[in-house]
């Protein structure tokens, strides 16, 4: 089912993970400087979100909600471990048994508090508890279920009910678990290009060009799938790390401008996503680019031709629209 929206919608989702984003491949060791600069970038981003009254969904790795952990001999015994073929030792071996002040790359309640204190209301969503890759065969249903349950429990300690989910690496699986745990929406992927899925340098170049060129499709429709609302991403706000730094920020803004125009014209979704640490690769131009995008969103919103809900808000509206389907 692809319902028709009453007007276009701009969605912004942020994969908020810090060091957890590289746990599965060990790359967190290579990006410590970026993670350490992320909080400053997030503070500046939140200021822009508040200024332009932009609502966003922050898909937070559940462990970042904690202030400390690991009181026993086994780290998080409640979690069923993934069984990835490349994994050596325990999945959580690299994770310190510590607390927020000592290891701020693995705990981030201060960041969550800042998000919840933003002048424009923000949504806290879920990005699994420890950034497992759900669609890989090594992540069993039992593993994924334990991850989601741990997130729900951690959020409950903040008085939060999670309804929106973003899969790490956009690897979608086990939707029945999300439905059973009370989620209503997840971010799907609209990237069907063959070149962009290639590994290595060719794939990276193709993906980089894709995200700065305003080539259709730039929008998508919500889809009701397995009892949940799939809200596809339509554009990645590309970082400036490595070769991506050679691509002008203006291209990212132009792509967003075209996407917002099409969303308003066709009553469809323009769904932009990014990782907060991406902004730390070159904060000034990347945040300036986002400000231009937010200014366009605010203008279209104020003219009544574009909405800016969170993922959870849009799912609630869609549920209300389809009545007994849910």
Domain map (residue ranges) of the chain:
8-325
Output the pLDDT for position 191.
67
β-pairing, 164-165 vs 185-186, is parallel
| Confidence at 211, pLDDT banded by 50, 70, 90 | confident
Among 35, 44, 122, 58, smallest CA distance to 289 is for 44
Tokens describing residue 320:
């209300």
Average pLDDT in the chain? 92
Determine the 3-state secondary structure of 225 from DSSP. strand
Burial class (CB in 10 A: 0-12, 13-18, 19+), 29: exposed
- The CATH code of the domain at 8-325 is 3.20.20.370
Output the pLDDT for position 201.
64
Output the pLDDT for position 203.
66
Scanning the structure block, which residue is given the tokens 């007994």?
324
**pLDDT for 192 beyond 60:** no
Q: Which of 123-137, 283-297, 311-325 has the lowest mean pLDDT?
A: 311-325
Mean pLDDT of 185-189: 96
Contacts of 183 (CB under 8 A, 6+ apart): 126, 148, 162, 163, 164, 165, 228
């Amino acid at each position: 089912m692809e319902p028709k929206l009453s007007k276009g919608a701009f969605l912004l989702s942020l994969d908020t993970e810090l060091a957890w984003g590289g746990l599965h491949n060990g790359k967190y060791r290579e990006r410590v400087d970026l993670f350490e600069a992320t909080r400053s970038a997030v503070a500046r981003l939140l200021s822009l979100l508040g200024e332009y009254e932009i609502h966003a969904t922050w898909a937070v790795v559940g462990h970042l909600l904690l202030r400390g952990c690991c009181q026993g001999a086994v780290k998080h015994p409640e979690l069923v471990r993934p069984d990835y073929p490349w994994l050596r030792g325990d999945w959580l071996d690299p994770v310190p048994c510590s607390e927020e002040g000592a290891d701020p790359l693995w705990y981030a309640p201060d960041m969550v508090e800042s998000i919840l204190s933003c002048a424009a209301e923000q949504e806290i969503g879920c990005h699994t508890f420890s950034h497992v890759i759900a669609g890989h065969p090594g992540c069993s249903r039992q593993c994924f279920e334990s991850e989601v349950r741990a997130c729900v429990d951690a959020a409950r300690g903040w008085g939060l009910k999670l309804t929106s989910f973003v899969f790490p690496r956009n690897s979608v699986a086990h939707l029945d678990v999300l439905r059973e745990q009370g989620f209503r929406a997840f971010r799907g992927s609209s990237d069907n290009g063959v070149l962009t899925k290639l590994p290595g340098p060719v794939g990276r170049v193709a993906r980089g060009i894709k995200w700065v060129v305003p080539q259709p499709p730039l929008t998508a429709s919500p889809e009701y799938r397995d009892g949940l609302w799939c809200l596809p991403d339509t554009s990645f706000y590309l970082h400036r790390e490595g070769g991506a730094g050679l691509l002008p920020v203006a291209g990212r803004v132009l792509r967003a401008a075209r996407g917002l125009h099409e969303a308003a014209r066709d009553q469809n979704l323009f769904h932009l996503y990014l990782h907060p640490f991406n902004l730390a690769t070159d904060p000034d131009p990347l945040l300036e680019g986002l400000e231009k995008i937010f200014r366009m969103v605010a203008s279209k919103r104020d003219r009544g031709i574009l909405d800016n809900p969170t993922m959870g808000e849009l799912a609630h509206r869609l549920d209300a629209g389809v009545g007994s389907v849910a």
